[in-house]
């Protein structure tokens, strides 16, 4: 099983990127978590660009999603919503449908359990618009239960991806 890890934060020292590295280290045998760093390369979504052919970064993004069994998105909240870079990346696959019925685990690495919830709510709304199957959606706060909560999300994501694979026609 191949899970594509997407970080909603573009900063090098991102707590969400650290969460994804931790998840990659936790992945059980037979499950590969591949980090995808290409959303920073995507142009701002504009249907006019698509009309003259998808830019290479866009084609690569679409191919990476299509080649994965599931996604794991860890994203900060910016201005009570999801980061623009992540929303832009999702906008590029609305028309082409790579996220349709795709199992997508979502979380936010936060300093406390109260933070990040509006960002996750917005992210879930956007993923709902592209008919993704969302798993999780709770922030994971740093602290003693961090690894346990992350392992639970990863386990639920793997289970949902396996169930999705067996229920496909």
Ligand X SMILES: Cc1cc2nc3c(=O)[nH]c(=O)nc-3n(C[C@H](O)[C@H](O)[C@H](O)COP(=O)(O)O)c2cc1C
Q: Which residues bind ligand X (CB under 6 A)?
A: 9, 11, 14-16, 76-80, 109, 115-116
SS3 5: strand
Whichever of 109 and 132 has its CB closer to ligand X, that residue is 109
Which residue from 25, 84, 87, 37 is spatially nearest to 61, judged by alpha carbons? 37
Select 21 or 162, whichever has its Cβ closest to ligand X: 21
Residue 130 vs 139, nearer CB to ligand X: 139
Those residues with Cβ within 8 angstroms of residue 132's Cβ, 6 or more apart along the chain or in another chain? 71, 99, 100, 101, 102, 103, 104
The distance of closest approach from Cβ of residue 141 to ligand X in the complex, given in angstroms and rounded to an integer, is 11
Picking from 94, 120, 118, 92, the residue whose alpha carbon sits closest to that of residue 105 is 120
Closest CB 80 distance from ligand X, rounded Å? 5
> What minimum distance in Å lies between the beta carbon of 117 and ligand X?
8
Q: The tokens of 132 are what?
A: 């993704």
Kindly tell me which of 114 and 168 has the beta carbon lying closer to ligand X: 114
Q: How far is the CB of 67 from ligand X (least distance, A)?
A: 25
């Amino acid at each position: 099983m191949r899970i594509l890890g997407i970080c909603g934060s573009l900063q090098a020292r991102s707590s969400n990127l650290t969460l994804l590295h931790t998840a990659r280290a936790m992945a059980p045998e037979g499950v590969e978590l591949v980090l995808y760093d290409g959303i920073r390369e995507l142009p701002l979504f504009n249907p006019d660009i698509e009309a003259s052919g998808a830019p290479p970064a866009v084609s690569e993004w679409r191919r990476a999603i299509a080649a994965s069994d599931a996604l794991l998105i860890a994203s900060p909240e910016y201005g009570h919503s999801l980061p623009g870079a992540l929303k832009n990346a999702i906008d590029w696959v609305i028309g082409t449908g790579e996220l349709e019925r795709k199992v997508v685990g979502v979380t936010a690495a936060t300093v406390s359990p109260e933070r990040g919830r509006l960002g996750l709510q917005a992210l879930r709304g956007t993923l709902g618009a592209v008919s993704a199957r969302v798993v999780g959606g709770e922030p994971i706060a740093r602290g003693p239960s961090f690894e346990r909560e992350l392992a639970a999300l990863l386990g639920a994501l793997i289970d949902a991806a396996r169930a999705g694979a067996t229920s496909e026609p």
